[in-house]
Amino acid sequence: MQILDTPPLLRVTGLTKTFHMHHLDSVLHAFEGIDFALTAGEFILLRGANGAGKSTLLRTLWRSYLPVGGHIWYQSRLGEIDLARAADIDIALLRREEIGFVTQFLNARPRVAAEEIVAEPLRLAGRAGNEALEEARHWLNQFGVRPELWRAYPSTFSGGEQQKVNLARALVLPQRLLLLDEPTASLDAGARQALVRRLSDLKAAGVAMIGVFHYPGDVAELIDREISLTTRTLPQNSGQDDTRDEFNDERERYVAV
């Protein structure tokens, strides 16, 4: 569903990430020269073997990893900006208002009730207290969190329940761009269906998504295009020493923990 005369929401050119490990005095190549574009309402699946750099790419777009080369042109509501070079404070603003990162891990905070965790992004966006809470409960319900848990602290929840709270929070506010890092991992069937429904609604509303899925079948109906990192990645020493690259990938994952 690409509309030809709309500029892409995200235009990535020559994106390169390496990790400079000072104590080993070595540079680890994660990926190099990645180019792709993502338009509003489009869903890109990232493919690649373990360690190919899929999660690294998502984290680089999110800027918890700093790119070392290339550009990430993003059409923000406030104007075009290169996320590869944007000021930290601009990134913080975009994370609050336009770009979401959905992982399988919840950063549970002590003494904050599940419903408050989910309502917080709505409140930050200016929604009134009660309204935000109502909507938060709606989404907790959708993801299958039982009502008796809504006012409890998720730090005591099981992993699966925490993940549902996390997804509800991450998806409660329609963002413009969603980075999805295996959000379906270890979800039960009901929650997985709720997630796919929510993603599908967001996609229909024009949210652009790029993600890694352990079982891409979960989201088969949403996928517009696939990017395979193994074929797009051009390590500096490619073609002469493949084992060396695998070694680097292993190290990269070690560093990324």
Q: Is 86 in the site for another protein (CB under 8 A)?
A: yes
Residues 88-107 that bind another protein (CB under 8 A): 88-94
Q: What whole-number distance in Å separates Cα of residue 149 and Cα of residue 26? A: 48
Q: Is 128 in the site for another protein (CB under 8 A)?
A: no
Which amino acid is present at 88? Answer: D
Q: Considering only 36-44, 57-65, 166-174, 193-201, which stretch makes contact with another protein by CB under 8 A?
A: 57-65
Instruction: Give min distance, CB of 90 to another protein, in A.
Output: 4
Closest to another protein by CB, 2 vs 156, is 156
Q: What whole-number distance in Å separates Cα of residue 118 and Cα of residue 166? A: 8
179: left (phi over 0), alpha (psi -120 to 50) or beta: beta
Q: What whole-number distance in Å separates Cα of residue 34 and Cα of residue 65? A: 15
In terms of DSSP H, where are the helices of the chain?
Answer: 54-62, 88-97, 114-124, 129-142, 159-172, 189-204, 229-232, 242-256
Instruction: Give min distance, CB of 151 to another protein, in A.
Output: 16
Q: Is 85 in the site for another protein (CB under 8 A)?
A: yes
Q: Is 257 in the site for another protein (CB under 8 A)?
A: yes
Instruction: Give min distance, CB of 97 to another protein, in A.
Output: 10
**If binding means CB under 8 A, how many residues of this protein chain bind another protein?**
30
Angle ∠(136,139,141) on CA atoms, nearest 5: 110
Q: Is 11 in the site for another protein (CB under 8 A)?
A: no
Tell which one of 87, 148, 189, 243 touches another protein (CB under 8 A).
Answer: 87
Residue 157, φ and ψ in degrees, nearest 5? -75, 165
The contacts of residue 185 (CB under 8 Å, 6+ apart) are 104, 214
**By rule CB under 8 A, what string of x and - marks binding of each residue 22-41 to another protein?**
xx------------------
Tell which one of 11, 29, 54, 59 touches another protein (CB under 8 A).
Answer: 59
Residues at the interface with another protein (CB under 8 A): 19-23, 59, 63-66, 76, 78-79, 81, 85-94, 109-111, 120, 256-257
